[in-house]
């Protein structure tokens, strides 16, 4: 199933998830400046990905570059780990053997 077919409602129902949105989990985390490379890459790639307008283009031209930047940040010791979502998802502890 393509990513664009997923909705938060479908995922919550399928995996019995409960989303807590009213907590400010990351208020104490300082922002990190991204590299000039990522800024320049996205400056060129985002308009191209939107013009092509496919999931593959967005994945390869935008998402892959952001994930590589996050990996570099973690490997260079700027952060031990990264939290990239502002929402916390609590998984029902009764679920077992969930396969992607």
| pLDDT tens digits, 14-71 | 888 888 777 777 677 777 788 899 999 999 999 999 999 888 988 899 999 999 988 8
| pLDDT tens digits, 72-83 | 888 877 655 554
Q: Which two tokens stand for residue 34?
A: 């991204």
10 Å CB burial of residue 61 (0-12, 13-18, 19+) is buried
The pLDDT value recorded for residue 1 is: 60
Closest by Cα among 64, 86, 78 to 32: 78
């Amino acid at each position: 199933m393509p990513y664009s077919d997923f909705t938060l409602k479908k995922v919550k129902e399928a995996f019995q998830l409960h989303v807590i949105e009213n907590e400010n989990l990351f208020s104490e985390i300082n922002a990190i400046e991204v590299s000039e490379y990522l800024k320049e890459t996205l400056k060129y790639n985002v308009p191209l990905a939107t013009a092509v307008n496919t999931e593959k283009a967005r994945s390869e031209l935008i998402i892959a570059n952001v994930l590589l930047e996050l990996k570099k940040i973690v490997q260079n010791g700027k952060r031990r780990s990264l939290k990239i979502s502002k929402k916390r998802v609590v998984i029902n502890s009764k679920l077992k053997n969930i396969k992607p």
